[in-house]
Amino acid sequence: MPAVPTVVTAPAVRRPDAATGGDDPAGLRDVVVAWFDEHARDLPWRAPDRTPWGVLVSEVMLQQTPVVRVAPAWHAWMTRWPTPADLAAASTADVLRAWDRLGYPRRALRLQDCARAVVERHGGQVPDDEAALLALPGVGSYTAAAVRAFAFGRRSVVLDTNVRRVLARAAAGTALPAPAQTVAEVRRAEAFVPDDDAAAARWAAASMELGALVCTARAPRCDACPVRDGCAWRAAGYPGDEHAARRRTQAWAGTDRQVRGRVMALLRDALGPVPQHAVDAVWPDAGQRERCVEALVADGLAVRTPGAGDDHPATYRLPH
């Protein structure tokens, strides 16, 4: 569960006379957007010259990866493949090498599949229609909503982990949202989205930023929160997380993710096919290593060429 914050009496940003909790969505929105106007980070995918493709790439990269790691990778990626057509024409090996250590490399494969679909179905232009976005490979409800809001300035319900946490605390009075998104949660979020396109897009960005910078999961900075005076969680005395037992995260060391990461790093750095003995050397547990290598092959992240005896061992490479 998150640490109980220490609340001090620093002044909040301008707020309406009404409470800013769940009973006054407009009041909470006004305060959060006013805070965002002062504190928004200067992120490249928010720049005036951003493209819908650049926004889509950022959303895929930001899944389970922090901004500090994504920003330089995004810059390099967009310099190399500024349009969907550029990425669609790239070799898969180059795409996986460029993805480097962002983690979860299947995202890179899905992004390239998405680029190909954009070229084939939409003439190389990212669509702004929700149904068309959802039909693209690797694009789910969150990514479609985010692209509509941040690339096209359209009204949508953008509900990532940061927004879910802000609304859980400020409106519902709980430490953290349920592990799985609920119908009631989506309805609550919908009630906070303004009808106007531009205002809705601004709220989406502002509420997400508040969750990322202030209303964080483990150490919320309630002393710096613009809606602390109307926060239902604070008013309730910061009750604990009822889902804490289900939120235990697996340590990185010794996991299949670590093994897969080591094998992928070996393949990315290699100038040619990697022999079996080099793959064997990356991890001592043969059973775990073989399981992870099989998974990489099955996921299309690695290609195995069978061996022909001791003198010609099996080799592995990135897909072309």
* Alpha-carbon 162 to chain mean position: 10
CB 160 within 8 A of CB 142: yes
CB 241 within 8 A of CB 2: yes
Residue 108 CA: distances (Å) to CA of 97, 131, 152: 10, 22, 23
Residue 271 burial (10 A CB sphere; 0-12, 13-18, 19+):
exposed
User: Would you please indicate which residues are annotated as catalytic (active-site) residues?
Assistant: 59
Tell me the one-letter amino acid at 244: A
CA distance 153 to 148: 6
Q: Which of 146, 196, 189 is CA-nearest to residue 166?
A: 189
CB 207 within 8 A of CB 166: yes
Q: What is the Cα Rg of the chain in Å?
A: 23
CA distance 15 to 34: 8
Q: What is the DSSP letter of 303?
A: E
